[in-house]
Amino acid sequence: MEKPDGAKQAELIIWLTLGVSALVALVDKWMGVISAGELAGALLLYGLLCIIPYKIGQGSNAARYVYTVFFAISVLVMLGGGLSMPRLDFIAGVFMLPVEVYIIYRLFQPEASEWFTRHTE
């Protein structure tokens, strides 16, 4: 079975959101909001998170659930400590919330769910 459009779109959009997050971290550094060490830590984290869209593209059912859990955790972090986040990070996070919901919607549509289930067998 060929990868459904929903899974393809979700994978691409996750790559784009990781790129936007890395750019926001760079802008935060250029504006002096975060230190060089914080920038390095953020870029390392985003680099590690690149495993998720890669694995989703490979058909990993677990990766889509891990992505969903990370999304839920990020929402809780924003709600709990959003005001202490750098302003640009918070704004980007708020604007990306609907995008993240769309990604999860596409990952869990019936055709995508069937593809992920078949891929794990």
64 touches 108 (CB < 8 A) = yes
Give the per-residue pLDDT at 88. Answer: 83
Give the per-residue pLDDT at 43. Answer: 95
* CA-based nearest residue to 102, from 57, 71, 80: 71
Give the per-residue pLDDT at 90. Answer: 81
Give the per-residue pLDDT at 118. Answer: 85
* CA-based nearest residue to 15, from 42, 63, 49, 60: 49
Angle between helix 36-49 and helix 5-30 axes, rounded to 10 deg: 170
- Residues 69, 110: Cα–Cα separation, whole Å: 19
Domain that includes residue 111, residue range: 5-120
Give the per-residue pLDDT at 97. Answer: 93
Our count of domains for the chain comes to: 1
Backbone angles phi, psi at 58, to 5 degrees: -85, -5
Digit-by-digit pLDDT tens for the chain (121 residues) are: 789 999 999 999 999 999 999 999 999 999 998 899 999 999 999 999 999 999 999 999 999 999 999 999 988 888 887 667 777 888 888 899 999 999 999 999 999 999 998 876 5
Q: What is the pTM of this model?
A: 0.90
Give the per-residue pLDDT at 108. Answer: 96
